[in-house]
Amino acid sequence: MPHPTWLAYGFAVLMVLISVYCIGRLVLAQHWGRSNHFDVNVSHVLMGAAMVGMLVPRWKVLPDGLWELVFGVLALYFFATSTRFVMGHGFRGTDNGHFHHLSHNLIHMVMSCAMLYMYWLGMPITAATNSSTSMSGPPAGVGDPSLTLFLIAVLLASAVWQLDSISRFSPRSLALSAVGGDASHHTGAGDDPPWLAPRLEISCHIAMCLTMGYMLVLMV
């Protein structure tokens, strides 16, 4: 079914920007000695680059088989970190950030699996032609719609959950945390260096969830 190519290009450009930004984060965090979610940013770079290739095939940087390998490894990595975290801290933590920490690993595992799922079903895409609408269209009806919609629901729930928590990192909240003496991690008041631009990292995650949700919904 025809689909606007400008939309695919729009999401592709967004993914390019996020990938470039996340590469910048990895470099700058190292350079400035700031804390950073290394694994998350690496996965955002990889997912962003892969989705660009899905959205606009001529911007593909690696063959599909290699991407499948990459996301298989990523999914295993996040599964291992989630398991290690649960074994170390249990399902129910002692602090309020426990669920956020666990969900951070789990959602990236789900995202890696979603990427694998799209590659396995031969997710090509929409912006292959020069007209305003693609004539080839997305592979609607492929895969199991229940699983596809489950993945979409998980991704969107994660986006909403993360957006709700973004206000924790506003300057005022961080100042209040510092007053309470329990935010050394964010403010740099303790041993840990402060986290590099947490709100931007969360925003990148939200944008990735939305873009992945869009790509998955084309398959329903």
Structure tokens belonging to residue 48: 């962003």
User: CA-to-CA distance for 58 and 216, rounded, in angstroms?
Assistant: 20
CB 22, CB 179: distance < 8 Å: no
Q: Which of 121, 163, 197, 200 binds another protein (CB under 8 A)?
A: 163
Tell me if 130 contacts another protein by CB under 8 A.
Answer: no
Q: Where are the beta strands (DSSP E) in the chain?
A: 3-4, 133-134
In three-state form (DSSP H/G/I as H, E/B as E, the rest C), the secondary structure along 66-124 is: HHHHHHHHHHHHHHHHHHHHHHHHCCCCCCCCHHHHHHHHHHHHHHHHHHHHHHHCCCC
Q: Which of 25, 108, 186, 205 binds another protein (CB under 8 A)?
A: 186
Identify which of 198, 110, 122, 118 has the alpha carbon closest to the alpha carbon of residue 162: 198
Residues 87-116 that bind another protein (CB under 8 A): 95-97, 100-101, 104
Q: Tokens 């990192």, residue?
A: 169
CB 119, CB 71: distance < 8 Å: yes
Identify which of 206, 210, 202 has the alpha carbon closest to the alpha carbon of residue 36: 202
> What mask of x and - would describe binding to another protein in positions 22 to 41, judged by CB under 8 A?
-------------x-x----
- For the CB of residue 157, give the shortest distance to another protein in the complex, in Å: 5
Tell me if 19 contacts another protein by CB under 8 A.
Answer: no
Nearer of residues 80 and 153 to another protein, judged by Cβ = 153
Tell me if 133 contacts another protein by CB under 8 A.
Answer: yes
- For the CB of residue 209, give the shortest distance to another protein in the complex, in Å: 9
Q: Which of 138, 151, 194, 208 binds another protein (CB under 8 A)?
A: 138
Name the one range near another protein by CB under 8 A: 25-33, 57-65, 107-115, 149-157: 149-157
Residue 134 falls in which region: left (phi positive, over 0), alpha (psi -120 to 50) or beta = beta
Tell me if 136 contacts another protein by CB under 8 A.
Answer: no
- For the CB of residue 85, give the shortest distance to another protein in the complex, in Å: 10
Contacts with another protein, residue ranges (CB under 8 A) = 1-4, 7, 35, 37, 95-97, 100-101, 104, 132-133, 137-138, 140-141, 144-146, 149, 152-153, 156-157, 159-161, 163-168, 170, 172-174, 176-186, 195, 206, 210, 213-214, 217-218, 220
